[in-house]
A and B are shown apart, each in its own frame.
Chain A
């Protein structure tokens, strides 16, 4: 029993960090409180990341078979933790917080992160549900963090109501599945499904309900409606967090669910994923084109990226799983980088129109160059993370004879050029409205440098990560 807790050390650290931040928030004096609390949270998150990395290579199922420790989950947890730490840093100096309790933001981020870690490791539907709730509830609050801004409240309400509805659908599906198999454990479900006809409509309905619930978290079409509105309304730091980190956990739990519990239903869920992938790519790209607000544009672009990643889920197999993990890493790096720049530019222009990037190439050349790199990466330009990711995903699809799916994906990535280069065009090929140079804080440079490093590293020298992702898929519980 005591041994099992070793595997849970990262989660415990994160929990302690969350509670510690709350307590510190009450105890400390007001002076420099935001910075101290942020640093404390970052320290906790990074410590947890360190412990997680330390567990790498181990395999175990703990807590009455509910919680899986495997390299697949561990890698994604490290990414989630680092992403959360960066989000906490991003908020320092950029977020208007209530004077009395500035630590609420950090607490909510850390709490949500704990939820994501639970999601990523769960081998049980109950735990997955609790993980989702623990992730979502802080996010609802974060979306409405600017209390005096009605747009922010509206974002929170939309996120909340749509989230609760899909949670209800998911729960209903779980109850059906429970009724059929008598268990909530993913591994046991797979075993018991052997005795059930795979064309049982109730089983199918249960599976689709659950997948729908998880698809909400990753904003796959048709469960994506919250994304653009929430991205636009939330404070941009929160948007950066929502757009990158929870999606990783969402994909992790989705992948665990279908691979662990439903191997018997592979044709059905691959079909569903393929259909959602196409819808998601097409919708995301088409809707991104007419957008004028950069946060909405990035929301739809993010939806499109989820579509590309779903291709990897629609194609069963090890290469596809590795490609999915790689794509998630690439996606979170470039999205986080792009949003950091949106935050920095929004700080000066006080708006988020794409036109506010006009002339950035002369006003802040390095910032503009970095933004160009992130946009090129999203586009799938060679030597960036996005290219490697797309190449892995599409070749995995072609390998399994899903050429049509790859074709749709590549065509979509051409369409995406139109709106990504809309921004590049603003930055380089449009005269600036203001000629003053833009001042950017050192913290922002740090975050951008990290995102740039990852984006380039995954593009220029992806070997370690590709091999890691392939390797860890072998260590995935079922293989």
Chain B
């Protein structure tokens, strides 16, 4: 009973904080952070309590009837299984640390209490999403977190780009939600319940057709793809970086964007019962998103955009894991990713705070100026790159193992290449930002209130993975596993570990060669020139470039001091620049094609509306009279032909 009360309080406390902040915020602005913080601490305590309770007694599920429609009861409830418990801890921890960090980062902000109010509302909604015991409650929270995301992306609305980005994020995720909503309606019409366990029973009983289940699964996945920024609905996430950096860390890296993965995990039993094509779609889209975003990340020069694309890529990893049946692997990666990516974002925020710019080429040598930020960033970078024994290594390795086990070698190959690219772009970022000559003498370390959260986050970012590693007997995996699958112990796959480490090291090495040449650039160029010895193919490559590379991109590349002819000449030619150029092309595809589809979609509708209103709604009564009569005749004829004559 006490546990139930505690679990109720987990989302309620931040919600109360939201109301309190709205009410008191105007009066006592200075107190705002502490109201938010208190709520976050209480939620964290509650979450830990819940985890312990789940660990002891297994899944907790209770609810009360919210309303009865016809004879169908709709419930509000709490469903804490290991999956939800893990998510609870992730959300509350990151939220707490981000709020502490924000004290420093948002110092002097005029609308500080509004900021904390929105963050608290977000936390409450996200927690309610996580502990929902039915799809309706999940959907409601799902929309609420979207709304909070909208408000927080547009927090600095004086910047026009921020308010456009907020709008775009909301619209694009809503496009995915079309699917989620229809899937929900389809589910309800067929099962007359939203309850997870009831739906699970109905699905297990096999009374639903595979076609219906597949439709529901794919519609849910559309919603998940919108929220988790999967191709082609991923374009909103890079733009969302207009929001304050702590918000990016909380919402657009660790928690909300993972909600899509969570949804697919939650309804995994539907995917499993559906036609295999459903999971194949998930795997395919996930893997494609992973590699596409990784390639684009290589080219970004804005520190936050690199991380945004990295997030998209990692979410693609998780989706791909789910697609190949690696349920636990996906959740494992979700958890580790939440911590190291939050750390990266907060680190980036600290860098931006200290260096006063977001362009990585205007930074450099920051490790000397910002010790804590630099070293914690390095931990997170190593972790995401997948270096033993950091968190990212274990979870990524588990995904690769699952992909190999499923026999889907295309996905496996794509993910391995992505792992390589991940190491490459992350270390490119690290080398450019933190090593090399100091470019800005005024750069300074952030205040303690910002660096302590970094230090705290560095611990799970480095070590959490061990919980799921074979060293500790795959404890995490067993804890999280679906009922009945707990004992399938994943034997350590040394081949996969070797491959992923090789990919990571190759990526780091390439980045080192390409971006850390200030140590001895000529020698490395020459060494590698002999090493790979592909000079003969140079002409061919040059022509290929001429042919393939669009001029503006070439100019951009030339303008960059880092893009030195030596490198182009050198042996690295075969991989590095290809990745970079491929990245530019992908980025171009991304910004030109996908963004244009979105923009032109809106523009087309706007143009149609504009043209129609100028031509049709002319304001002239005779026209209106004529249109009414003509419309009437057309309607009557169509319906007559369709429903009277045809019969």
Chain A positions within 8 Å of B, measured between CB atoms, are 157-158, 161-162, 165-166, 169, 199, 201, 204-205, 208, 212, 221-223, 225-226, 228-229, 267-268, 271-272, 275-276, 283, 286-291, 376, 381-383, 391, 394-395, 398-399, 403, 406-407, 410-411, 414-415, 417-418, 421, 425, 428-431, 461-463, 466-467, 470
Contacts and interface: CB of A to CB of B under 8 A. Distances in A.
Given A225-B617, A395-B189, A286 B612 contact: yes
Contact of B639 (A208, A286, A287, A383): A208
B552 interface: no
Given A165-B629, A208-B636, A271-B643, 20 more contacts: A162-B621, A165-B628, A204-B644, A222-B627, A223-B632, A267-B643, A275-B639, A286-B609, A287-B617, A290-B610, A381-B143, A395-B185, A403-B182, A411-B178, A414-B174, A414-B178, A415-B605, A417-B170, A421-B171, A428-B154
Given A161-B621, A466-B67, A276 B635 contact: yes
A410 B639 contact: no
Interface in B591-637: 602, 605-606, 608-610, 612-613, 617, 619, 621, 624-625, 627-632, 634-636
Contact of B621 (A157, A394, A403, A414): A157
Contacts of B49: none
B181 interface: yes
A48 to B, nearest CB: 30
Given A225-B617, A287-B612, A395-B188, A431 B158 contact: yes
Contacts of B177: 414
Contacts of A403: 182, 186
Nearest to B142: A382
A290 B609 contact: yes
Nearest to A225: B624
A219 to B, nearest CB: 12
A418 B140 contact: no
Contacts of B67: 461-463, 466
Nearest to A319: B70
Contacts of B605: 286, 289, 415, 418
A406 B215 CA distance: 14
B245 to A, nearest CB: 19
Contacts of A425: 154, 163, 166-167
Nearest to B174: A414
Given A205-B636, A417-B174, A431-B158, A406 B143 contact: no
A212 B182 contact: no
A271 B639 contact: yes
A137 B140 CA distance: 44
Given A201-B640, A425-B167, A410 B178 contact: yes
Interface in B429-488: none
Contact of B644 (A157, A199, A221, A382): A199
29 contacts: A158-B624, A162-B621, A162-B624, A165-B625, A204-B644, A212-B632, A222-B628, A223-B628, A228-B617, A275-B639, A286-B609, A289-B606, A289-B609, A290-B610, A291-B613, A381-B147, A382-B144, A383-B144, A398-B185, A399-B189, A403-B186, A414-B171, A417-B170, A428-B157, A429-B166, A430-B157, A431-B157, A461-B66, A466-B69
B638 interface: yes
A77 B147 CA distance: 36
B560 interface: no
B647 interface: yes
B181 A410 contact: yes
B431 to A, nearest CB: 37
A430 B156 CA distance: 10
A429 B612 CA distance: 29
A463 B631 contact: no
Contacts of A395: 185, 188-189
B642 interface: yes
A286 B608 contact: yes
Interface string B362-406: 000000000000000000000000000000000000000000000
A286 B619 CA distance: 18
B625 A162 contact: yes
B613 A169 contact: no
Contacts of B144: 382-383
B151 interface: yes
A215 to B, nearest CB: 9
Contacts of A275: 635, 638-639
A202 to B, nearest CB: 11
A204 B619 CA distance: 32
B143 A391 contact: no
A162 B628 CA distance: 8
A425 B170 CA distance: 12
Interface in B183-236: 184-186, 188-189
Contact of B68 (A166, A286, A417, A467): A467
A447 to B, nearest CB: 23
Interface in B560-618: 602, 605-606, 608-610, 612-613, 617
Contacts of B608: 286
Contacts of A271: 639, 642-643
Contacts of B166: 425, 429
B373 to A, nearest CB: 31
A226 B623 CA distance: 11
B524 interface: no
Contact of B602 (A157, A223, A418): A418
Contacts of B629: 165
B241 to A, nearest CB: 17
B417 interface: no
A367 to B, nearest CB: 15
A421 B167 contact: yes
B148 to A, nearest CB: 12
A407 B158 CA distance: 37
Interface in B101-156: 139-140, 143-144, 147, 150-151, 154
A383 B617 contact: no
A169 B151 contact: no
A194 to B, nearest CB: 17
A222 B625 contact: no
Contact of A272 (B186, B621, B635): B635
A444 B424 CA distance: 61
Contact of A406 (B162, B185, B624): B185
Contacts of A430: 157, 163
Please indicate which of the listed interface residues A283, A382, A421 has the most CB atoms of chain B within 10 Å of its own CB: A382
Contacts of A399: 189
Contacts of B68: 463, 467
Contacts of A225: 617, 624, 627-628
A266 to B, nearest CB: 10
B175 interface: yes
A281 to B, nearest CB: 13
Given A223-B628, A463-B68, A204 B640 contact: yes
A296 to B, nearest CB: 9
A462 B69 CA distance: 9
B625 A287 contact: no
